């Protein structure tokens, strides 16, 4: 009979432990996981990317719902454990569930520390720890403009950068005289502050917050020196507090965190703790790499594998703020027992400091170029004797390639990707067993480099070292997912060649490892099938993300937003009346003008969404979809004294022509009435700038954190030519893009000049336009059918599947 293994917490450290247990032994335990948040396991490190607009919430899941089912894990989400009863080996939840256990893992993580000052309970004061916090900040940025982030550490700076990218004016309040004082020395901290100030971030250094003031909502903060600043949002990023109260109530030994030994055992029999809630040798850790190390050691112990246990971690830090590349590990400041090797290039903004003691690296601080970080930190952890190294190239052996030498010396169990806990041995095994040839294939198969991407150079170095002469550094083929070694192009070619008719048939015929597919290939195959066979293939709603299945974006409380299309931000009195009537009928808590100039209904209950759409009788704005989201345009020549053409009218025409049809990722178009570019057309997926003699066309732009300006395409004379070029462009992207790939990386991968050659070829252009119109007809028919015939019950049967 299987032993009952129960885990409280569904976060990164705990689930990593479960993954490691399943790798070693799938027969011993019956596993149950209880998570307080209503989500599957997701990557908290990527919350800063969500806040910055670089990725979506549903794209940061590390293990989707299917993973739990496939591994026979009983999962409770949105349910809080309220009591542990060690003497009876059972736990209780707030929903009165009583769950017995043989072995119990506490992986409850931590909470944001909220400064205990007057006003900290006001609306508009938030931490930065989870999806709910992130979505709250995003929603706030749509209504308010002034934010204060308290805390100039890693998390605070990431929050500040994200809020700036959301259009807020941000001031960072920091108690200490320098930023990231726990990770950077004075020189690197000064460079960081200067770079962030040049991006528009403001700093209030050596300020102690004494009060947050306001009536019902925060209006500002006051400091100990009597000064104050006004703000609409306060983000607390001053530290974390281990969630150890549950263990304390149950009588376990608790200091700052839950006290554990080297085997991660608590003071109670058969109860263990890992992650931010655990305290080992007086230390609690808040970075992911040591938490993964704890999970691995606990997995070894629980499965009977002989192991040395966990003995603590040496920490390193990397910052993911745009334009700032830094790394630090070990000691930062030299003392009487250390010597410093310092390289500073003020012209290039590069600073490197290595601290040495007894011929061993004891500290690393890098700014501006952190490419040496992994190599130097590996030497620090291994206590490598550096007698044979020259300091002229920052500890590179004379005559030897630094990265290749470092990779050759790395042990198989050494971590390469700290974000996802992937070791060199895992990568090498995947390369050899799965015949991987590129970084993208390794990333898809192992998750190495799938988060912040800082380890890409090391991963490529391992590829080169493992494959030897057969390694092609130019290989950029992207694998589909972990279910197959076939690339996107391989799969699409096989679908066409073999006449495959469904995703299930694709997986069976092409030998996917998982017959049911995974969260990566299911939506991708559904997209490719519909793109290749628009008439024969029937869209599989169950393979789509919940937002697409529900025709609305899911909100932080489980409700949805409903956003109808308003071409060019224009509407009618009748439509506004209908929106008001529907909002009142369903008690919609928020009706708001969106950033795309539409009226959105926010907080619609899940069960009301189909009827809301039916009552509105309006076309969807596709604010949730991988398709054309909106066309931003200025008023143009009709009203503006600088306008050269009717940009508003052209924008509406483009939106009507291109809406609804699925693309590999979301798309946005901008149409500016003159070169002043009020519609920001030069950072859109497709841009149009109106000039006296016609229309300048651009493509491949992207706003947000990693800005990519458009490539210049061509100039045309008529609106009909604009629409033809935009249509051909979208169809070419549909046919050659990788699912989940924005147009900016697509243009970089395909090549701007190659795209121009295709689109400017009259015959190829006409064929692309014809195929797009053919596809769009099927979408029009499907949408009409959905509005007229799909009963509410039927929709929810699809969602449940």
What CATH number is attached to the domain comprising 675? 3.30.413.10
Distances (CA, A) of 465 to 444, 608, 730: 19, 56, 40
According to the model, what pLDDT value does residue 218 have? Answer: 96
CA distance readout (Å), 505 to 502, 511, 532, 587: 5, 10, 15, 45
Beta bridge partners of 112: 240
Please indicate, yes or no, whether residues 163 and 214 belong to a single structural domain of this protein. Answer: yes
pLDDT of residue 322: 53
Tell me whether residue 320 is in a domain.
no
> Considering only CA atoms, which of 665, 690, 686 is closest in space to residue 675?
690
- What is the Rg, in whole angstroms, of the alpha carbon atoms belonging to the chain? 28
- Are residues 636 and 754 located together in one domain of the fold? yes
Q: Are residues 450 and 511 in the same domain?
A: no
Tokens matching residue 631: 């066309």
- Residue spans of the chain under pLDDT 70: 319-323, 347, 390-406, 450-454, 472-479, 545-547, 556, 704-706, 782-801
Q: Quick one: pLDDT at residue 400? A: 43
Residues 452 and 493 in one domain: no
The Cα 127–Cα 159 span in angstroms is: 10
| Residues paired with residue 48 on neighbouring β-strands, in sequence order | none
CA torsion, ordered 18, 20, 22, 24, to nearest 10 deg: -150
- Please state, in angstroms and rounded to a whole number, the distance separating the CA atoms of residues 776 and 659: 9
Closest to 219 (Cα-Cα) out of 234, 205, 204: 234
Contact 173/148 with Cβ under 8 angstroms?
yes
Q: Is residue 131 part of a domain?
A: yes
Residue ending a domain, among 477, 499, 523, is 477
Q: Is 222 buried (19+), middle (13-18) or exposed (0-12) by CB count in 10 A? A: middle
Which contiguous run of DSSP H or E holds residue 363? strand 360-367
Do residues 585 and 615 make contact, with C-beta atoms less than 8 angstroms apart? yes
Q: Which helix (H) or strand (E) holds 71?
A: none
The CATH number assigned to the domain holding 295 equals: 3.50.50.60
Q: What is the DSSP letter of 42?
A: B
Distance, in Å, from the CA atom of 9 to the CA atom of 34, rounded to the nearest integer, reads: 6
Compute the distance between CA of residue 240 and CA of residue 127 in angstroms, rounded to an integer.
Answer: 9
Looking at 500, 527, 544, which one is the last position of a domain?
Answer: 544
Q: Is residue 376 part of a domain?
A: no
Strand locations in 62-208 (E): 74-76, 81-85, 90-93, 98-100, 103-106, 110-112, 125-126, 146-150, 169-174, 202-205
pLDDT at 338: 92
Whether residues 647 and 731 share a domain: the answer is: yes
Judge whether 792 lies within some domain.
Answer: yes
Nearest to 482 by CA among 70, 56, 123: 70
Do residues 213 and 278 share a domain? Answer: no
Task: Compute the distance between CA of residue 256 and CA of residue 278 in angstroms, rounded to an integer.
Answer: 9
pLDDT in the model for residue 568: 82
- Residue 652 sits in the same domain as residue 741: yes
230/129 same-domain check: yes
Residue 351: CB atoms within 10 A of its CB come to 23
Angle between helices 752-759 and 743-750 (to 10 degrees): 90
Point out which residues pair with 790 in neighbouring strands: none
159 vs 182: CA distance, rounded Å: 18
Q: Is 536 domain-assigned?
A: yes
Please indicate, yes or no, whether residues 268 and 136 belong to a single structural domain of this protein: no
User: How distant, in Å, are the alpha carbons of 114, 134, 523, 677 from that of 217?
Assistant: 16, 18, 41, 36
| Residue 303 to residue 29: CA distance in whole angstroms | 9
Classify residue 390: in a domain, yes or no.
Answer: no
- One domain for residues 637 and 709: yes
End of a domain among 492, 517, 544?
544
Pairing of strands 202-205, 209-214: unpaired
Six-digit token string for 275: 């992650």
Number of domains into which the chain is organized: 5
Strand partners, 7: 33, 105
- Would you say 413 and 423 are in contact if contact means Cβ atoms under 8 Å apart? yes
Domain that holds residue 412: 401-477
Residues 470 and 490 both lie in one domain: no
* Cα–Cα nearest to 669, from 682, 685, 656: 685
Q: Is residue 488 part of a domain?
A: yes
Position 55 in a domain? yes
Q: What is the dihedral of CA 21, 25, 28, 30, to 10 degrees?
A: 50
139 shares a domain with 77 = no
Alpha helices per DSSP H over 53-201: 65-70, 131-143, 154-165, 186-198
Element (H, E) at 654: helix 647-658
Residue pLDDT, tens place only, 465-511: 888 777 766 555 556 777 887 888 889 988 988 888 888 888 888 88
């Amino acid at each position: 009979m299987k032993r009952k293994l129960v885990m409280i917490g569904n976060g990164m450290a705990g689930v990593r432990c479960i993954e490691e247990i399943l790798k070693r032994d799938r027969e011993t335990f019956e596993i149950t996981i209880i998570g307080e948040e209503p989500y599957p396991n997701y990557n908290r490190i990527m919350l800063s990317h969500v806040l910055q607009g670089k990725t979506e919430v549903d794209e940061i899941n590390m293990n989707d719902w299917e993973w739990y089912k496939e591994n026979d894990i009983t999962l409770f989400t949105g349910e809080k454990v309220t009591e542990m009863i060690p003497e009876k080996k059972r736990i209780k939840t707030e929903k009165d569930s009583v769950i017995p256990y043989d072995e119990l893992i506490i992986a409850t993580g931590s909470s944001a520390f909220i400064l205990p000052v007057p006003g900290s309970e006001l609306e508009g004061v938030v931490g930065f720890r989870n999806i709910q916090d992130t979505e709250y900040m995003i929603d706030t940025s749509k209504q308010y403009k002034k934010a204060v982030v308290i805390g100039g550490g890693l998390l605070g700076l990431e929050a500040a950068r994200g809020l700036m990218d959301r259009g807020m004016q941000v001031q960072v309040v920091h108690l200490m005289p320098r930023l990231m004082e726990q990770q950077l020395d004075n020189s690197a901290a000064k460079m960081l502050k200067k770079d962030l100030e040049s991006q528009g971030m403001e700093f209030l250094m050596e300020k102690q917050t004494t009060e947050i003031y306001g009536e019902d909502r925060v209006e500002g903060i006051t400091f100990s020196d009597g000064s104050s600043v006004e703000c609409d949002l306060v983000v607390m990023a001053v530290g974390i507090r281990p969630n150890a109260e549950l263990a304390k109530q149950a009588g376990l030994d608790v200091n700052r965190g839950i006290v554990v030994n080297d085997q991660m055992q608590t003071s109670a029999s058969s109860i263990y703790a890992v992650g931010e809630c655990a305290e080992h040798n007086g230390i609690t850790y808040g970075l992911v790499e040591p938490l993964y190390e704890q999970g691995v050691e606990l997995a070894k112990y629980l499965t009977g594998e002989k192991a040395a246990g966990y003995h603590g971690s040496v920490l390193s830090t990397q910052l993911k703020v745009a334009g700032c590349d830094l790394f630090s590990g070990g000691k930062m400041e030299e003392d009487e027992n250390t010597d410093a090797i310092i390289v500073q290039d003020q012209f290039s903004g590069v600073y490197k400091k290595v601290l040495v003691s007894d011929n061993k690296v004891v500290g690393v601080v890098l700014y501006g170029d952190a490419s040496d970080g992994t190599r130097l930190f590996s030497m620090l952890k291994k206590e490598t004797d550096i007698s044979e190294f020259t300091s002229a190239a920052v500890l590179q052996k004379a005559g030897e390639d630094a990265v290749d030498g470092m990779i050759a010396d790395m042990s198989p169990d050494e971590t390469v990707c700290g974000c996802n806990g992937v070791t060199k041995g895992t990568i090498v095994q995947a390369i050899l067993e799965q015949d991987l040839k590129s970084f993208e294939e390794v990333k898809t198969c192992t998750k190495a480099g799938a988060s912040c991407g800082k380890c890409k150079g090391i991963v490529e170095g391992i590829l080169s070292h493992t494959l030897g002469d057969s390694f092609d550094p130019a290989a950029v083929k992207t694998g589909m997912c972990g279910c197959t070694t076939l690339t996107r192009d391989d799969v699409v070619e096989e679908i066409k060649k073999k006449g495959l008719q469904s995703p299930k048939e694709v997986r069976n015929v092409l030998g996917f490892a998982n017959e049911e597919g995974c969260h990566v290939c299911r939506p991708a195959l559904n997209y490719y099938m519909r793109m290749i066979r628009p008439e024969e293939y029937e869209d599989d709603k169950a393979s789509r993300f919940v937002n697409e299945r529900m025709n609305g974006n899911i909100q932080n409380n489980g409700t949805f937003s409903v956003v109808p299309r308003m071409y060019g931000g224009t509407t009618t009195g009748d439509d506004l009346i209908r929106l008001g009537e529907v909002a009142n009928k369903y008690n919609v808590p928020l009706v708001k003008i969106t950033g795309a100039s539409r009226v959105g209904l926010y907080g619609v209950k899940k069960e009301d969404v189909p009827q809301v759409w039916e009552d509105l009788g309006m076309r969807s704005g596709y604010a949730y979809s991988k398709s054309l989201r909106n066309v931003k345009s200025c008023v143009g020549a009709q009203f503006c004294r600088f306008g050269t053409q009717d940009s508003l009218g052209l924008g509406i025409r483009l939106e009507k022509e291109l809406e609804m049809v699925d693309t590999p990722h979301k798309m946005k178009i901008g149409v500016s009435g003159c070169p002043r570019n009020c519609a920001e057309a030069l950072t859109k997926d497709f841009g149009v700038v109106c000039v006296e003699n016609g229309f300048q066309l651009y493509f491949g732009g992207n706003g947000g954190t990693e800005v990519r300006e458009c490539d210049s395409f061509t100039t045309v004379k008529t609106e009909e030519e604009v629409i033809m070029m935009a249509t051909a462009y979208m169809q070419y992207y549909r046919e050659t893009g990788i699912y989940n790939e924005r147009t900016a990386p697509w243009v970089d991968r395909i090549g701007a000049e190659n795209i121009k050659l295709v689109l400017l070829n009259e015959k190829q252009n006409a064929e692309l336009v014809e195929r797009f119109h053919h596809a769009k007809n099927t979408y029009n028919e499907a949408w009409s059918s959905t509005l007229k015939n799909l009963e509410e019950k039927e929709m929810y049967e699809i969602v449940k599947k």
